[in-house]
């Protein structure tokens, strides 16, 4: 294979990598806490889901969530078992004439909490969008640098290094020609 052919194959391979579209959607994480208040994230609350703490897979062991659900975690934070305590149903209480409580205070507290969470999420998403924008800029710069390097390499492969000396023997000293096709399969 000639240097020009190698460079052309490199260009094609590079363009395929740049133009490739992602095939999978990002995994949505569920955030929750353990009984002791430690925050964790779970990819999916089923056997095979992954539990992570501070961005790393949770160590092997048993964990109890704040809602009473018990998880058994194996290697790499994978959930191997889920135990849910279902409380026994108590007999229904006889109807009592209970005074109606004012729900406006509870509703206002809930509304404030929800508003704060949405504000927090919006700021996180804005930060993520900024980071993605920065990464796209870096990727564009890296793409331009790689294309420039490929062009320089092609120019160097095509340009003679000097005027051949007629006193120098120009035959090939190698016994066989190497095949580099395996690099592009």
The reported pLDDT for the residue numbered 132 is 92
pLDDT in tens, 132-166: 999 999 999 999 999 989 888 888 888 777 777 77
Q: What is the pTM of this model?
A: 0.35
What was the pLDDT predicted at 158? 82
pLDDT in tens, 22-78: 555 556 678 888 999 889 998 888 888 889 988 888 999 999 988 888 999 998 888
Torsion of CA 113, 119, 125, 130, to 10 degrees: -150
Q: Is the model more confident about 111 or about 88?
A: 111
User: What was the pLDDT predicted at 48?
Assistant: 84
Q: Return the higher-pLDDT residue of 96 and 68.
A: 68
pLDDT of residue 154: 86
User: Quick one: pLDDT at residue 99?
Assistant: 61
What number is the average pLDDT over the span 8-23?
72
pLDDT at 110 > cutoff 70: yes
Bridge partners (DSSP) of residue 34 are 65
The 3-class secondary structure across the chain, one letter per residue, is CCHHHHHHHHHHHHHHHHHCCCCCCCCCCEEEEECCCCEEEECCCCCCCEEEECCEECCCEEEEECCCCEEEECHHHEEEEEECCCCCCCCCCCCCCCCCCCCHHHHHHHHHHHHHHHHHHHHHHHHHHHHHHHHHHHHHHHHHHHHHHHHHHHHHHHCCCCCCCCCCCCCCCCCCCCCCHHHHC
φ/ψ of residue 167, rounded to 5: -80, -15
């Amino acid at each position: 294979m000639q240097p020009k052919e190698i460079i052309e194959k490199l260009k094609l391979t590079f363009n395929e990598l740049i133009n490739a579209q992602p095939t999978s959607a990002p995994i949505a994480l569920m955030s929750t806490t353990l009984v002791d208040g430690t925050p964790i994230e779970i990819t999916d609350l089923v056997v095979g889901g992954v539990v992570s703490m501070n961005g790393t897979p949770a160590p092997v062991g048993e964990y109890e969530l704040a809602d009473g659900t018990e998880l058994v975690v194996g290697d790499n934070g994978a959930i191997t078992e889920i135990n849910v305590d279902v409380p026994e149903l108590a007999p229904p209480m006889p109807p009592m004439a209970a005074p109606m409580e004012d729900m406006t205070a509870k509703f206002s507290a809930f509304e404030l909490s929800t508003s704060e969470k949405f504000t927090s999420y919006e700021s996180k998403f804005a930060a993520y969008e900024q980071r993605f924008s920065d990464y796209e800029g870096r990727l564009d710069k890296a793409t331009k640098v790689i294309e420039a390097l490929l062009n320089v390499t092609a120019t160097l492969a095509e340009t003679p290094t000097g005027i051949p000396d007629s006193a120098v023997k120009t035959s090939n000293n190698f016994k066989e020609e190497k095949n580099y096709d395996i690099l592009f399969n």
